[in-house]
Every structure is written in C-alpha cells, then in structure tokens.
Amino acid sequence: MVSALVMLTVVLATGWLIWFSRDIEARAVGARSVGAAAAAVLALWLGMVIFYAPIEQVQGIVQKIFYVHIPAIIPTYLGFALTAVGGVGFLRTRDDRWDQLAIAGAEVGVVFCSLMLIVGPIWAKPVWGHWWVWDLRLTSTLILWFIYVAYLFLRGLAFGSDAAKTFTSVYGIVGTAAIPFVYFAVDLAQGSTMHPSNPAREGLPAEMGRTAGAGLVAFVLVFAWLAARRMEVAALEARELRTNAGASA
Amino acid sequence: MSYLLCAYAVTAIVLVGYALRLRAARAALLRSSSRRS
C-alpha cells in the first residue's frame, strides 16, 4: 500500500513535470498547488517522525535520521532520470523546453543527492563510529554526485550555447547508467559493505514503513515543486539571453 | 539526540536555502526584464 502510493506519486510527479515543461509560463500557477501539497505532506511526515514512528531498540533515536536519508534517494534518481529524458527530447527536437527540464532535473537532483550524502554520515558516526567508509554504495553515490556536479559545471562554463546543450544532453543520458549501479551496489558488494540493504526489500515494521513512505511522498512533491521553480528560472534566463542577443545584433 | 537535530537542521537549511536561492534568481530576472521593457 505504502509502496504503491510512493510509486503513484513518482509517476504523477514525473508526468506533471514533463507536462509543466511544455508551457512553463501558462502553467506556473499549478506549481503553487504542488508547493502547498508538498508543505502539507511535509508537516504530516514531520508529525509522524516525532509522534508516530517508534524509537528503534538497537540504534536509539538516531535511527530517525533514516526518515530524511531514505526519502532523499528517490528525488535524486528522479532528477537525474529527468535530465536524461530532457536530453533525449532536446536531441530529437532541439526544443529549449526539453533542455530546461534537463537542467532542472540535474540541479535539484544534485541538491537531494548532497542532502543524502551529508545526512548519511551524520547517522553513520554514532552508529558505525565513522563518518564515512569507502564501501561500494557510499563511493558509487559520491561518484554519481560528481557526475552531475560536473554536468552543472559544464552548463555553467558554456551558458546558453547550442553546442553545450548538445554535449550536456548526451552527457546527461550517459550519466544515468550510473543509477542502477548505485542502487544495486549493496547487492553487488555481496556482504562486504557496511551500508544497510535497500529498505524496500527489508520489510520495515509498519510504523517505520509508513513514516518513511510519508517522507518519500513529501520529498518527491518538494522535488517537483523545486524542479518547476528551477524550470521557470531557466525559461527566464533563456528569454534574457534572447533579448540580449537581439539587442547586440 | 544532537546528531538527530543536526540532520534535520541540515535538511531544512539545504531545502529552504535552495528554494530561497531560486526565488532570488527569479526575482532578479523579472526585475531585469521589466527594467528593459
């Protein structure tokens, strides 16, 4: 039930973001509704973290850090997947709106990936005794983060040029190949990783599962809202660039 | 407890900080385009 709700939110958010990218100015009002929904679910999730989710017996209260760490995973993957979708769309049509979807996915994906990489060690220190270990899951996630930070740097270096858009579209498509590797890193490591296995297959107690599910829904909605705002900014930047080019011609 | 509070504070700072950065960027672009017109 919880997994189905999370999946439904992911599918709806993805569909809505692609639909939104087609006509950003006319559909900007819808972004406010998504923002309001995100705020409401965030409040529910926070209430569940504080009052509903039990304190885990072995790890104690620090286990509740998981309710931030786990929900940040899906927006990370979703952002990078949207970068690939935008890249394919741009290469096929040369339509800037696809490029705006790609940049929004990459940037907001990096925000959530950074959050995951910061919050994970805050949990690891009291539980493992180390902030960081160079195991397969952690290292591959860090590499994924570097891949998309490099994408953003490349975009920044050649702002607005067509060649840069083409190159980064290809780069964004190729970059998604790292996602399944990161996701299955714990299985690939065959027991030689300290990172817990993927929670969906672990069978969490009901209260913990529902709280993590609420967090996943909330973070996907926050992701959708932020990505929509980022697309608005990208559209305004493109308009500014066109105006400047027209003025200097 | 301090680790827990730190994790949630970092989350709030990252998400709210990024949202504010987007808002500022959007406002600056809108100002620039209205000045031109």
Q: What is the CATH number of the domain that holds A107?
A: 1.20.120
Q: What is the DSSP string of chain A?
A: -HHHHHHHHHHHHHHHHHHHHHSTTTTHHHHHHHHHHHHHHHHHHHHIIIIISPPBTTTBGGGGGHHHHTTTHHHHHHHHHHHHHHHHHHHHH--HHHHHHHHHHHHHHHHHHHHHHHHHHHHHHHHHS-S----HHHHHHHHHHHHHHHHHHHHHHTTT-HHHHHHHHHHHHHHTTHHHHHHTHHHHTTT---SPPPGGGT---HHHHHHHHHHHHHHHHHHHHHHHHHHHHHHHHHHHHHHHHHHH-
> Which of A115, A126, A230 is the closest to B14 by Cβ?
A115
* Residue A191: predicted pLDDT: 65
> Which of A122, A230, A232 is the closest to B3 by Cβ?
A122
Q: How far is B32 from chain A (nearest CA, A)?
A: 8
pLDDT tens per residue, range A66-75: 999 999 999 9
A229 touches B: beta carbon within 8 Å: yes
> Which of B15, B29, B36 is the closest to A237 by Cβ?
B29
* Residue A44: predicted pLDDT: 96
B9 touches A: beta carbon within 8 Å: no
A123 touches B: beta carbon within 8 Å: yes
A contact test, residue of B22, B23, B34 with most A CBs within 10 A = B22
* Residue A76: predicted pLDDT: 95
**Domain residue limits at A42:** 2-248
pLDDT band at A37 (very low <50, low <70, confident <90, very high): very high
**For the residues A165-194, what does the mean pLDDT come to?**
80
Q: Which residue of B has its CA nearest to A46?
A: B8
Q: How far is B34 from chain A (nearest CA, A)?
A: 11
Q: What domain count does chain A have?
A: 1
Give the predicted TM-score (pTM) of the model.
0.91
* Residue A242: predicted pLDDT: 79
ipTM: 0.93
